Amino acid sequence: MDEAKSLPPLEEVEPLQEGYRWVAITAMLFAIGIILHTVSPNVGGVTPNWTIAMYSIVISMFNPKLSQAVGIGFIAGLTLVPSSKSAFPLGNIASELSGAILCCLVVKAMLAAGLGEWKLRPLVTGFLATMASGSVFTFILKLVLGLPLSVWVYAMLPVVAVVGLLNGLITFLLFAPVKRLFYAQEGRK
């Protein structure tokens, strides 16, 4: 009993406002992305990759450390494996890692260049992340299926570019509403 009386009182420390809310937002967006990825129909060989758009939003909004972006990419790749419509679903792990890493590096470069408030930043990051991810994924698929390089360059990469444009647009259109949702409690825009 005497020991308890000699201990200093506990102090309660308030967590930072943003703390780990970004993790909850990331999880929510991944869940939405996975559902949309699963139910989105293939139209003319093109299906938006909602998961890339979602992690591009997260990375653009929160500017995570590179190690956190690696975690985001790894989780994104793992979550896509069960819902993949491809011949080699495990390729998603490497492709989403590359997409998230490139997205993170582009965001950091844009912020360093003073483009933090540039309205088209989400469009650019969504497009480039999709190009990186799609290029890696289709190249792995080319290797697994033993396809000639010309098929990858002239058939697969153009589809990746179309999906990249679509994902860039999706990222751009969803960025502002997600940002408003995240900062609603703080009264920020």
Where do the domains of the chain lie, and which CATH numbers do they carry? Answer: 20-35+47-186 (1.10.1760)
Flag whether pLDDT at 19 surpasses 70. Answer: no
**Is 25 in contact with 178 (CB distance < 8 Å)?**
yes
Tens digits of residue pLDDT in 69-121: 999 999 999 988 887 777 788 999 999 999 999 999 999 999 999 998 899 99
Q: Among the listed ranges 18-27, 53-62, 92-101, which one has the minimum average pLDDT value? A: 18-27
Tens digits of residue pLDDT in 130-178: 999 999 999 999 999 999 999 999 999 999 999 999 999 999 999 999 8
Flag whether pLDDT at 41 surpasses 60. Answer: yes
User: pTM above 0.85?
Assistant: no
